[in-house]
Amino acid sequence: MVVLHALFDLKPQVAELDFRQALAEFCRHLQSAGYITSWRWMHQIDPVGPAFPRPLQKQLVALEFIDARAEQRCYEYVAANAEPIRTLHRAMNSHVEPGSAMFFVCADA
C-alpha cells in the first residue's frame, strides 16, 4: 500500500464541515475512477506528556493507493487539470490556507 499524506491548515474563516464536504466529493470521484482505495481526514492534537518536534500544520489528509503506480497515475490525472477533477480540486483547495500545504508519500516496508 502507498499513502499520500497532505499536511495543511484551513483558512481561518473555513468551517470544517465545508472542507469535509469538498474533500469527500474530491475523494469519491478519485475512488470511483479507480485511483484511490480510501482516504481519511485527521487533525493534529496536542498529546499529554513531553513535547516533541512535530509539523506546524494542524490538518492531515491521507489518500491510500494500491501501489506506487496507482499513486503516479492519480497524480498525473489531477495535474492534467481537466474537468471534472479541476473543479473538485479547486473547490477543496479553496478552503486551504495558501502556502501551508506539505506533501509526502510513504509505502509499506
Report the predicted TM-score, pTM, of the whole model to 2 decimal places: 0.92
SS3 content of the chain, % helix, strand, coil (to 5): 35, 25, 40
Give the chain's domains with CATH numbers.
Answer: 2-44+56-107 (3.30.70.100)
Task: Report the C-alpha gap between 78 and 55 in whole angstroms.
Answer: 25
State the DSSP code for 85. Answer: H
The 10s digit of each residue's pLDDT in 17-58 is 999 999 999 999 999 999 999 999 999 988 888 888 889 999
The 10s digit of each residue's pLDDT in 43-101 is 998 888 888 888 999 999 999 999 999 999 999 999 999 999 999 999 999 999 999 99
Please say whether the beta carbons of 37 and 64 come within 8 A: yes
Identify the pLDDT of residue 108.
Answer: 92
Identify the pLDDT of residue 101.
Answer: 97
